[in-house]
């Protein structure tokens, strides 16, 4: 009976981080697919290509969307699963101080996303799915700060 997962006693904030970070992982996977096919397929159009201002494929045609020849979404495809893993390890009592790890990763990722958003503002073209990832990482960051404050009180 000890092996049965008791969701009632789990930290709801951590469970929420797991869920939204899994969503962000799939989002990053789709964005990575889109980034590479935008390069390989001429005039590729995707569901998030709403108009000239909100166009994910247009963003991936910009130099800032590629870091050392890799689309920034590929980096996200590694960041979010690590956040999921850390949160799951905490939920199952395998590590302590999870919020510090998530906080550090979130700060780094918020700064990185700020670079992308800043450049999107400069070219006046926005990727809605990238903005969704930014919202998710800001939520992770905010919850980590809340845990830190709770621990220090």
pLDDT at 97: 66
Does residue 2 sit within a domain?
no
Q: What is the mean pLDDT of residues 57-79?
A: 90
- What are residue 139's phi and psi, to 5 degrees? -65, -45
pLDDT confidence of residue 87: 85
Position 122 scores a pLDDT of 94
d(CA 78, CA 58): 23
Range among 42-46, 92-96, 135-139 rated most confident: 135-139
pLDDT tens-digit readout, 110-120: 898 899 999 99
CATH number at residue 90: 1.20.1440.130
Contact between 81 and 25 under an 8 Å Cβ cutoff? The reply is: yes
Compute the mean pLDDT over every residue in the chain, rounded to the nearest whole number.
Answer: 84
**83 domain-assigned:** yes
Q: Does the pLDDT of residue 10 top 70, yes or no? A: no
- Residue 1 pLDDT exceeds 60: no
Whether residue 114 lies inside any domain: the answer is yes
In a domain, 6, yes or no: no
What pLDDT is attached to residue 31? Answer: 92
Rounded to whole angstroms, how far apart are CA atoms 136 and 149? 20
123 within some domain: yes
Give the distance, in angstroms, between the CA of residue 29 and the centroid of all CA atoms in the same chain.
11
Q: Note whether residue 1 is domain-resident.
A: no
Considering the domain boundaries, does residue 39 fall inside one? Answer: yes
Q: Rounded mean pLDDT of 111-139?
A: 91
* Number of domains, the chain: 1
Place of tokens 């070219």: 123
Q: Does the predicted model carry a pTM greater than 0.85?
A: no
Give the tens place of pLDDT for each residue, 33-67: 988 987 777 777 787 889 989 998 888 888 999 98
- Domain of residue 53 covers 11-148
Residue 33 lies in a domain: yes
């Amino acid at each position: 009976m000890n092996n049965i997962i008791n969701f009632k006693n789990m930290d709801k904030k951590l469970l929420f981080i797991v869920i939204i970070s899994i969503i962000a992982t799939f989002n990053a996977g789709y964005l990575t697919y889109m980034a590479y096919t935008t390069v390989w397929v001429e005039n590729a159009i995707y569901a998030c290509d709403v108009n000239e201002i909100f166009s994910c494929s247009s963003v991936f045609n910009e130099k800032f969307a590629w870091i050392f020849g890799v689309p920034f979404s590929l980096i996200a495809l590694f960041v979010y699963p690590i956040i999921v893993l850390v949160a799951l390890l905490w939920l199952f009592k395998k590590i302590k101080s999870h919020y510090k790890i998530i906080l550090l990763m979130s700060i780094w990722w918020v700064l990185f996303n700020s670079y992308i958003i800043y450049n999107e503002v400069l070219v006046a073209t926005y990727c809605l799915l990238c903005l969704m990832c930014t919202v998710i990482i800001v939520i992770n960051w905010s919850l980590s700060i809340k845990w830190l404050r709770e621990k220090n009180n």
